[in-house]
Amino acid sequence: MKKTVKDIIVKDKKVIVRCDFNVPMIDGAITDDTRIKAALPTIEYLIAEGAKVILMSHMGRPKGEPKMEFTLAPVAERLSQYLKKDVKFVSSPVVVDDSVKAAAENLASGEVLLIENVRFRKEETDNDPGFAKELASLAEIFVQDAFGTAHRAHASTAGIAEYLPCVSGFLIEKEVKFLGEAVEAPKRPFLAIMGGAKVGDKIPVIENLITKVDTLIIGGGMSYTFFKAMGLEIGKSILDEGNIGLAAELLKKAKDNGVEILLPVDVVTAAEFSNDAERVVVDFDKIPADREGMDIGPKTRELYGKAIAEAATVVWNGPMGVFELPNFAEGTKAVASYMADSDAVTIIGGGDSAAAVEQMGFADKMTHISTGGGASLEFLEGKELPGIAVIEDK
Ligand code: ADP
Ligand code: MG
């Protein structure tokens, strides 16, 4: 078990928190502040406990230079609104300088300071010890709460922990609890649902899960690479050419491990990649040469629904079809809906799957939706994430 903010005394201490404020912006305006809202519980707890709170994050890709289009100023403003108190923001082109140090030093208990985008310094992504030390010099305790970057060993996510005691915030605590339990000690039957476009991106996840799950569902764009590996015609469907061999190996590995694999039994096809294209449902082994698979079909939805209903843990990564086109979103919607209705522990990992579940209105019916796309995938691969490894054990 990892230590959390609740396991230490933070009163009157300077606490530096690595948050994920990497919010989408258009012309200096925040277009989606989900990540800011997600960070609030940890910050509010620290304020209530009388800590002196210093926040840091990256945003976008300023590539190690103080490019002001990536300033965190709009984040400070939004935070002030949500916290109903003034969040001090001291912008320095070098992130930490004398004015930033003075602001940190002069914080009163319960006050909040945000420092500038840590990626204004190229030493951040190099995990440079000098920069990590500069960040650490601002505080007495380091709180790790940025799951989205926990798979990166950077100065603000890993290096800083060399110089300060490190505990997790509530966001990381939740991610580690649900993703960790699902992979290491799942309630059985354990079902994993994999989809999305590219087999290559997901192979390491499938390889890890195949030794742990009872049933593996493969849907979405990646199923055609598996069909190809089985020697079937897939028409113009998306194919990950370089991974046909690996797909065949995974099918064999599943068999060797006694894992049941479910592939689509029917697919919704189209003659071109367009929402207005005519939809024709065909059996999985009868895809015409001039059409492409865009979604799972009705028989498959029912089959997958049954598997979901029987499972006690369901981990889902990757949409079942081209859900961005409403006419080909039914498969993804059905899986989300079956999961929402189930009593199982339901976990969503992956950026597009999480977005689909939010969009379709099932978000509050899931046990856990991971906030880190790449980080949640690496977690499901069974890797130890550098930003989590540095958190002290209880
Ligand atoms: P996640 O972000 O949840 O890990 P991915 O990024 O792997 O998911 O995959 C999402 C993408 O896969 C979506 O853009 C979706 O349109 C695409 N996709 C799903 N099924 C198909 C298909 N049959 N053909 C083409 N693209 C597909
Ligand atoms: Mg994606």
The string of DSSP letters for 157-185 reads TTGGGGTS-EEE-HHHHHHHHHHHHHHHS
Tally Cβ neighbours within 10 Å of residue 253: 16
Query: Taking the model in full, what pTM does it have?
Result: 0.87
Distances in Å between the Cα of 237 and the Cα atoms of 296, 303, 327 are: 12, 22, 17
Distance CA 170, CA 6 (A): 9
Ligand 1 pocket mutation pick from 272, 352, 380 by most atoms within 8 angstroms of CB: 352
In DSSP notation, 308-349 reads: HHH-SEEEEES-SS-TTSGGG-HHHHHHHHHHHH--SEEEE-
Ligand nearest to the backbone CA of 325: 1
Task: List, in order of start, the domains of the chain with CATH numbers.
Answer: 5-170 (3.40.50.1260), 177-380 (3.40.50.1260)
> Which residue lies with its CA nearest to atom 4 of ligand 1?
350
Given the CA of residue 353, which atom of ligand 1 is nearest to it? 3
3-state secondary structure of 12: coil
CB 15 within 8 A of CB 47: no
3-state secondary structure of 220: helix
Per-residue pLDDT of the chain (394 residues; tens, 9 = 90+): 899 999 999 999 999 999 999 999 998 899 989 899 999 999 999 999 999 999 999 999 999 999 999 999 999 999 999 999 999 999 999 999 999 999 999 999 999 999 999 999 999 999 999 999 999 999 999 999 999 999 999 999 999 999 999 999 999 999 999 998 888 899 999 999 999 987 888 888 999 999 899 999 999 999 999 999 999 999 999 999 999 999 999 999 999 999 999 999 999 999 999 999 999 999 999 999 999 999 999 999 999 999 999 999 999 999 999 999 999 999 999 999 999 999 999 999 888 899 899 999 999 999 999 888 788 888 888 889 999 999 999 9
pLDDT at 126: 98
Distance CA 96, CA 6 (A): 28
Distances in Å between the Cα of 329 and the Cα atoms of 124, 194, 216, 283 are: 40, 16, 21, 18
pLDDT at 379: 87
pLDDT at 132: 98
> Which residue lies with its CA nearest to atom 25 of ligand 1?
221
Structure tokens at 11: 């009163």
Question: Residues with Cβ within 6 A of ligand 1?
Answer: 196-197, 201, 220-221, 238, 293-294, 317-319, 321-322, 324, 350-353, 373
pLDDT at 374: 83
pLDDT at 351: 83
pLDDT at 377: 86
pLDDT at 372: 80
Distance CA 88, CA 169 (A): 21
Ligand nearest to the backbone CA of 201: 1
Residues tagged active-site: 35, 198, 351, 374
With CA atoms as reference, report the closest residue to 21 among 149, 135, 122, 178: 149
